[in-house]
Chains A and B, each alone.
Chain A
Amino acid sequence: MGERANDSEWIHRAKQGDDDAFAKLVEVYQVPVFNLCYRMLGNPSEAEDAAQETFLRAYRGLSRYDPKRRFATWLLSIASHHCIDRLRRRRYPIQSLDELLPWQQKSDDTPGPEAALTVKEEQETVREILEHLGDQDRVALILRYWYDLSYEEIAQCLSISVSAVKSRLHRSRRYLAEQWMVRKSVAVGASGRCDEASAL
Chain B
Amino acid sequence: MKHQPYEFWLFERKTLSSDEARDLEDHLTTCDNCRALANAWTNIEDQILSASLVAPLPGFTQRWRSRLADHRRRTHQRQMSAVLFTTALGLVGLAFLFGTELLPLFQPAIPTLMVWGSKVANLVANLHLFRMIMGILLDASIDSIPLVYRVSLPLSLAGLATLWVVSINRFRYRRIRKE
User: What's the Cα separation between A187 and B6 when bound, in Å?
Assistant: 27
Interface residues of A in 3-42 (CB under 8 A from B): 19, 23, 26-27, 30-32, 34-35, 38-39
Give the bracket for the number of chain B residues in contact with chain A: 20 to 34
CB contact under 8 A between A38 and B61, given known A56-B71, A145-B49, A177-B37: no
Q: Does A55 make an interface contact (CB < 8 A)?
A: yes
Q: Which residues of A contact B67 (CB under 8 A)?
A: 52, 56
Q: Does B115 make an interface contact (CB < 8 A)?
A: no
Interface residues of A in 177-192 (CB under 8 A from B): 177-178, 180-181, 184
Q: Does A105 make an interface contact (CB < 8 A)?
A: yes
Q: Does A72 make an interface contact (CB < 8 A)?
A: no
Q: Does B145 make an interface contact (CB < 8 A)?
A: no
Distance from A37 Cβ to chain B, minimum over Cβ atoms (Å): 9
**Chain A residues bordering chain B, tally (CB within 8 A):** 39
Q: Which residues of A contact B8 (CB under 8 A)?
A: 170
CB contact under 8 A between A126 and B51, given known A48-B56, A177-B41, A178-B37: no
Contact among A122, A123, A146, A184 with B53 in the assembled complex (CB-CB below 8 Å): A146
Q: Which residues of A contact B36 (CB under 8 A)?
A: 181
Secondary structure class of chain B's binding surface, majority of residues = helix
Q: Which residues of B contact A143 (CB under 8 A)?
A: none
Contact among A31, A38, A52 with B64 in the assembled complex (CB-CB below 8 Å): A52
The interface of chain A, by Cβ under 8 A from chain B, is 19, 23, 26-27, 30-32, 34-35, 38-39, 47-48, 51-52, 55-56, 59, 101-103, 105, 107, 122-123, 126, 141, 145-146, 169-170, 173-174, 176-178, 180-181, 184
The interface of chain B, by Cβ under 8 A from chain A, is 7-8, 11, 36-37, 40-41, 43-45, 47-57, 60-61, 63-65, 67-68, 71
User: What are 19 A-to-B residue pairs whose CB atoms are below 8 Å?
Assistant: A19-B68, A30-B61, A31-B54, A34-B60, A35-B53, A48-B63, A52-B60, A52-B67, A56-B71, A103-B48, A122-B43, A123-B47, A126-B47, A145-B48, A146-B51, A170-B11, A177-B37, A180-B44, A181-B40
